[in-house]
Amino acid sequence: MTGKVVLMGAGPGDIGLLTVKAMETLRRADSIVYDRLVDSSLLAARKPQCKLIYVGKEPSHHPIPQEEIEQILVNEARNGGLVVRLKAGDPYVFGRGGEEGEVLYDAGIPFEVIPGITSAIGGLVYAGIPVTHRDYASSFHVITGHLKKGHDPLDWQSLARLEGTLVFLMGMTNLQAICEKLIRNGRSPETSVAVVEWASRSHQRSVVGDLTSIHEIVQKKGIHNPALIVVGDVVKLRPKLNFFESLPLFQQKILVPRARAGESKLARKIEELGGKAVEYPQIAVQEQPLPKSDVTFSNLRSYDTLIFMSSESVQYFFENLLAKDKDSRDLQHLHIVAVGIDVLKCLQGKGIQADSFCPRRSVQLLLDLQGEAWQRGMHILLVGSEELVHTFAEQLTRHAYVTPLPLYKEVRTTCKSFNLAEYNAICFGSSTTVQNLLTVLTKEEQQVLAQKKLFSIGQMTSQSIRDNGFTVHQEAKKPSIDEVIQLLIDDVKGAVLA
């Protein structure tokens, strides 16, 4: 059976600008054919068995010709399943999405298009430049700056006369020629111009000049592709509207070692403040199917306490519960314990209020929570990842009868292109994150780590850092994400003043 292709726009760079529909489709994709400018973080949303096909192009260097890319889409679709063609920006704004759609139509392949935010609008927003403004520009024009040698299809006289904003995409190699042709055809040499490199990403850089000076400024600052060129008076609004480059962690690349799968609140906060947070090592969740002989769900009456160790454990538990023709009514006799706020919320999403709440994974907190009940010989069903349930079961069996129920496992993977030297700081959120990072770093990488600024969320984490031979740069006075974030902000301010 023939599959389907989705031509999808990833937006200008910031992964948060991906549409809801696009993210949902990425998670269902059987194969993803992606470009060079697509942020690799988006690919983390894919399912484990999803096939990745890189077809990246660079200016004047196309290792995989367009015709071959189109054939890849056709072949992948004919293998069945859902194929995503993931492009930066919008597929139909100089993204050759229209050409690919035509090829798919001619080949009889069903396809759909999910628009993305074009960098011609979204990228400029992140540089503090609106494409239109009532006082400066009532129209905008998006133009390809990629001109073929010996062939210039643009009407420069008309472009120079336009009073609206001119946005040139893929025009860096022709920047000087673009400025000269606009001036030669009547545009004022003093017209404001801005060039924005890596728009909407934490390492974005922007420079401003006019038609006579911008090329020299770009050369001095070393601005390169990918970059946007914007010509017009709207550039003058940048000092007032430049919200992104004013964020306190702008241009800070921060490593957030991971303790487990799932989104890190610390990483999300760093990105909200303009930084680039990279979670490492990558941790994927793999479901652990129960053996056919397993009788756990048939014997729920034999337990009096049910402890959920993670939000994933809730999801997989209820999937198995329904598969056994049971539902929440079979849990009425159980004392349900939620470990962590995410678990509490996940249970509420299933229509269940936990009887007890443990704020974090701690054997002592669980013992204190249940009090004297431990001495009465509790029968506990402990649900979580393979590693979690066996670790906690080993300690809890001294106080109660514990049955570990591992419904998934967490698999750590490393990135071949990982370069620790690129990071401004490393933020450890627990002792586990220290151990997880050190287990995947080579000796050479650990030597680089020793030269970096290491931030710790609290005393226990700091002790783990020191026990492994490293120095703590800053430790939060209170063990909270907000405290760690403030340490980062103060450190950046201190470096600027120095």
CATH assignment of the domain containing 164: 3.30.950.10
| 379 shares a domain with 297 | yes
**What pLDDT is recorded for position 85?**
97
| 402 shares a domain with 296 | yes
Q: Name the band, by pLDDT with cuts 50, 70 and 90, for residue 281.
A: confident
Taking alpha carbons only, the member of 22, 69, 58, 56 closest to residue 42 is: 22
Domain end: 366, 385, 412, which one?
A: 412
**What pLDDT is recorded for position 292?**
83
> 175 in a domain, yes or no?
yes
Q: What is the tens place of the pLDDT at every residue in 231-245?
A: 999 999 999 999 999
Amino acid letter, 353:
Q
At 66, which CATH number? 3.40.1010.10
**What pLDDT is recorded for position 410?**
83
> Average pLDDT, whole number, for the chain?
91
Q: Name the band, by pLDDT with cuts 50, 70 and 90, for residue 373.
A: low
pTM over 0.75: yes
| 399 shares a domain with 364 | yes
> 479 in a domain, yes or no?
yes
**What pLDDT is recorded for position 138?**
94
Number of domains forming the structure of the chain: 4
| 359 shares a domain with 325 | yes
| 80 shares a domain with 140 | no
**What pLDDT is recorded for position 359?**
87
**What pLDDT is recorded for position 293?**
83
| 77 shares a domain with 65 | yes
> 247 in a domain, yes or no?
no
Domain end: 114, 149, 165, which one?
A: 114
| 231 shares a domain with 268 | no
| 391 shares a domain with 299 | yes
| 379 shares a domain with 237 | no
**What pLDDT is recorded for position 69?**
94
> 421 in a domain, yes or no?
yes
| 406 shares a domain with 295 | yes
> 246 in a domain, yes or no?
no
| 489 shares a domain with 428 | yes
Domain end: 412, 444, 473, which one?
A: 412
**96-110, 155-169, 323-337, 412-426: which range is least confident on average?**
412-426
Q: What is the tens place of the pLDDT at every residue in 198-212?
A: 999 999 999 999 999
| 139 shares a domain with 41 | no
Q: What is the tens place of the pLDDT at every residue in 82-94?
A: 999 999 999 999 9
**What pLDDT is recorded for position 424?**
96
Q: Name the band, by pLDDT with cuts 50, 70 and 90, for residue 280.
A: confident
> 442 in a domain, yes or no?
yes
Any idea which residues carry the catalytic annotation? 35, 57
At 307, which CATH number? 3.40.50.10090
**What pLDDT is recorded for position 149?**
61
90-108: burial string, b at 16+ Cβ within 10 Å, e else = bbbbbbbbeebbebbeebe
Show the domain range for 137. 122-241
> 360 in a domain, yes or no?
yes
